[in-house]
Amino acid sequence: MIFDFNVESGDPIAVSSAYTSASGNVQVKAITGDESEHALVGHFVGELNVGAGPLPPSPAGVDSGFVAVFDADGAPRWAAVLNGANVELARGAFVAGGVVAGGWFSRGRIYDSEPARGRDGVAVVFDGDGTVVSTLVISSEADDAVSAVAAHGDGHVVVGTYGGPLELGGVALSHAGQSDAFISVFAADGALSWARGLGSSRDDHGRRVSSLDDGSVLMAGTFSGTLNFAGETLVTRGGSDVFVAAYDGDGNELWVRSFGGDGDDRLGSFDRDGETLVLSVFVDGEVLASDGTTASGPLTIVRTAI
Residue 289, pLDDT above cutoff 80: no
pLDDT bin (cut points 50, 70, 90) of residue 286 is low
Residue 212, pLDDT above cutoff 80: yes
Report the C-alpha gap between 240 and 195 in whole angstroms.
Answer: 24
Residues 6+ apart with CB under 8 A from 169: 136, 184, 191, 192, 195
- Bigger pLDDT: 162 or 84? 162
Cα-based torsion angle of the residue sequence 177, 178, 181, 186 in order, rounded to the nearest 10 degrees? 100
CA distances to 27, 34, 58, 80, 90 from 31, rounded to whole Å, are: 11, 10, 21, 15, 10
In residues, how long is the chain? 306
Strands (E), 56-129: 64-71, 76-82, 86-95, 98-106, 119-127
Which range (32-36, 42-46, 265-269) has the least confidence?
A: 265-269
CB crowding 46-78: b at 16 or more within 10 Å, else e? ebbebbeeebebbbeebbbbbbbbbeeebebbb
pLDDT bin (cut points 50, 70, 90) of residue 280 is confident
Report the C-alpha gap between 256 and 276 in whole angstroms.
Answer: 15
98-133 pLDDT, tens digit per residue, is 999 999 999 899 988 888 889 999 999 999 999 999
Residues 6+ apart with CB under 8 A from 270: 207, 208, 210, 220, 277, 278, 279, 280
Task: Kindly state the average pLDDT of the residues 217-234.
Answer: 94
Residue 112 confidence (pLDDT): 81
| SS3 at position 117 | coil
- Bigger pLDDT: 271 or 131? 131
17-32 pLDDT, tens digit per residue, is 555 555 678 999 999 9
229-257 pLDDT, tens digit per residue, is 999 999 998 789 999 999 999 999 999 99
pTM above 0.85, yes or no: yes
Strands (E), 153-275: 155-162, 166-168, 171-173, 180-186, 192-198, 205-211, 217-223, 226-229, 232-235, 241-247, 253-260, 266-273
pLDDT bin (cut points 50, 70, 90) of residue 211 is very high
Residue 7 confidence (pLDDT): 45
pLDDT bin (cut points 50, 70, 90) of residue 11 is low
Which range (81-85, 194-198, 279-283, 290-294) has the least confidence?
A: 290-294
Which range (183-192, 241-250, 253-262, 270-279) has the least confidence?
A: 270-279
Residues 6+ apart with CB under 8 A from 179: 142, 143, 161, 162, 163, 199, 203, 204, 205
| Every domain of the chain and the residues it spans | 2-263
Residue 77 confidence (pLDDT): 94
In the CATH scheme, what is the code of domain 2-263? 2.130.10
Average pLDDT in the chain: 86
